[in-house]
Amino acid sequence: MTPPALSVDGAASFQGRQVFAPLHLEIEAARWTCLLGPSGVGKTTILRLIAGLEDGCDFDGAITATDGELVFNRVAYMAQTDLLFPWLDVLGNTLLGARLRGERSDTARAEALIDRVGLSDDISKRPHQLSGGMRQRAALARTLMEDRPIILLDEPFSALDARTRVEMQDLAAELLSERTVLLVTHDPAEAARLGHRIHLMQSYGLVEVPPPSTVPIRAYDDPDVFACQSELMRMLRSRDPLLAREGKD
Amino acid sequence: MMWRPVLSVGLSISIFLCAWQVLVWATGLKPFLLPGPLRVANALWSNLDSIGWHALITSTEILAGLVFGLGLGVVTAIQLAMSPAARIHVRPVLVFLQAVPFFALAPILTFWMGYGMAPKIVMAMLIIYFPVTSSFFDGLMRTPPGYLDLARTMGAPAWSVLWRVRIPSAVPALASGLKLGAVFTPIGAVIGEWVGGSGAGLGYLMLLANGRAKIDLMFACVVILAVITVLLYWIADRLGEWMTRRFS
């Protein structure tokens, strides 16, 4: 499976009010693209537009894949909350996509994926019996089970404690390495660790920020990661990110 | 430890019965005005066969009303949730009908359906129909949006979203409606029996006892009716708890 690259061109509005200004976002094939920015700037709207989930929003533009195929039916989606169905166990949640489409369930593959995310001993547990980290692991297994080339991640690790978050970033980077990934995040450290490309989103559009010179996934204590994280934070706090990058704001 | 709640309920009931008996002795009230619990127990014992038979009729009406009301309520709620047109046209009618005092319909139901069990079952059914429809519909409309988003990205068809996402996530709400219905259904059946005197059921026996100033027998019927209602509520509560645990 060779995943496509994506591009998002256009602006969005809701009931006549601008959600985000005209922008151009390139999402590279088989790479992690991080979209960083403050709340309410339209990051999640971009992700939902790619997934074909945004109904109320008026999007003036185009979302295209390099292979010319449709995009929305080739995405798997992971949200901030794990969205595990409480009435299903880990295996049932992993097999959810096939169940919902009325397809035959590939239980052996689901069990192998559950093993890869380290939940073999908890395969029959229901979500309320799992910790936050375990729940996100189960959600990751469900995402992988869909076997889609494009993965959309909407702050999936933000509710986890610091240690579990780092572990989940490692695991996700390993398991999603051959997919085209768009990660929406609030966290500069996360973008600095995971991003092949990092875009800072502000109300007037996008600014691309050079990632650390090393290859993701980067060590959380890598000096380059710290430097990138500091720069991202400075730009996030600044009224003009470009000036901040040049040290003038 | 498990017997503690049972003991405490038993103690409360014993205190209540003692206070009732003392009140009757102390005030010297005539038995046709207020019989004591001992006299009521005696009436219950000496009319056990008759009360048992009438209780069986009433229980059948209650259970049939509960099953039909539940089924109809579930189907209506699903229809409303699935169809925006139904929500626009049918829901206002349902809201209006909910405001109708159904007890006032008992004579009309008897007129339409005769003196058999049917009007009593319909009364019981109507009493539970609205709480079940309303609570289940609310549950169906409050499916967490994230679940629906996920199902959509997975390419789930509409029937599958309904069957595998919206209905399971609305089950706890249905359980609340069921518990409410278990309390109200016996009222519907008894009112049906009061109005459409069919010669059977606890409601009919109460009217008969009242007409003959057998107040102790009337109280015995009330006690049995309360026992049936409590038992029904207990079953609905257990079932509801299981449903909620299973689906939330």
CA atoms within 13 A on the CB side of B91: 15
Which of A198, A185, A186 is closest to A225 using CA atoms? A198
Helix (H/G/I), strand (E/B), else coil: B126: helix
Task: Answer for the pair A105, A125: CB distance below 8 angstroms, yes or no.
Answer: no
Residue A84 tokens read as 């595990």
Within an 8 Å CB–CB cutoff, is residue B245 touching chain A? no
Question: Is the distance from CB of B189 to CB of B151 less than 8 angstroms?
Answer: no
In this predicted structure, the answer to whether residue B236 has a pLDDT above a threshold of 80 is yes
Tell me the shortest Cα–Cα distance from B177 to chain A, in angstroms: 20
Stretch B149-163: mean pLDDT, rounded?
94
- B84 contacts in A (CB within 8 Å)? none
pLDDT attached to residue B113: 83
Q: Round to the nearest angstrom and report the end-to-end CA distance of chain A.
A: 45
- Predicted ipTM of the assembly: 0.89
pLDDT of residue A81: 92
For position A245, what pLDDT does the model report?
Answer: 61
Q: What are phi and psi of B110, to 5 degrees?
A: -65, -40
Query: What is the Cα–Cα distance from B113 to B101, expressed in whole angstroms?
Result: 19
Distance separating alpha carbons of residues A140 and A144, to the nearest angstrom: 6
Give the model confidence (pLDDT) of A60-95 as tens digits: 999 999 999 999 999 999 998 999 999 999 999 999
A123 preceded by a cis bond (ω within 30 of 0): no
End-to-end CA distance of chain B: 28
Please tell me what DSSP assigns to residue A74: G
> Average of pLDDT values for B198-210?
86
Residue B147 touches partner A, C-beta closer than 8 Å = yes
The per-residue pLDDT for A82 is: 94
Which candidate, A141, A106, A71, A146, places its Cα nearest to that of B154?
A146
**pLDDT for B189:** 87
Measured CA to CA, the distance from residue A80 to residue A207 in angstroms comes to: 24
- Judged by CB atoms closer than 8 Å, whether chains meet at B154 and A73 is answered as no
CA nearest A75 in B: which residue? B153
Residue B199: band (very low, low, confident or very high) from pLDDT cuts 50, 70, 90: confident
Q: Answer whether A200's CB lies under 8 Å from A50's CB.
A: no
3-class SS of residue A18 = strand
Residue B150: the pLDDT is 96
Higher pLDDT, B204 or A93: A93
State how far residue A53 is from chain B, nearest Cα, in angstroms: 7
What is the pLDDT, as a whole number, of residue A39? 86
User: Which of A132, A172, A219 minimizes the C-alpha distance to A34?
Assistant: A172
pTM of the complete model = 0.83
| Whether residue B128 has pLDDT greater than 70 | yes
Whether the per-residue pLDDT at B195 is higher than 60: the answer is: yes
Give the pLDDT mean for B103-113: 82
Check if the beta carbon of residue B187 is closer than 8 Å to that of residue B106.
Answer: no
Do residues B177 and A117 lie in contact, with contact meaning Cβ atoms separated by under 8 Å? no
% pLDDT > 90, chain B: 42
What is the pLDDT at residue A25?
A: 95
Provide block-wise average pLDDT over 10 residues at a time, chain A (249 residues): 90 90 93 92 93 88 93 92 94 96 94 93 95 93 94 92 90 91 94 95 88 92 92 84 58
A48, A88, A100: best mutation site toward chain B, by most B Cβ within 10 Å?
Answer: A100
Residues 6+ apart with CB under 8 A from A195: A32, A33, A34, A183, A211, A216
Indicate the range of A162-166, B57-61, B99-103, B137-141 predicted with least confidence: B99-103
Q: What is the pLDDT of residue B29?
A: 82
Contact call for residues A235 and A38 (beta carbons, < 8 A): no
Q: What is the token pair recorded at A101?
A: 């489409």
Return the structure tokens found at B27.
């005030």
Say how many C-beta atoms besides its own lie within 10 A of residue B91's C-beta.
15
Token pair, residue B228, equals 């049936």
Query: Would you say residue B102 has pLDDT above 80?
Result: no
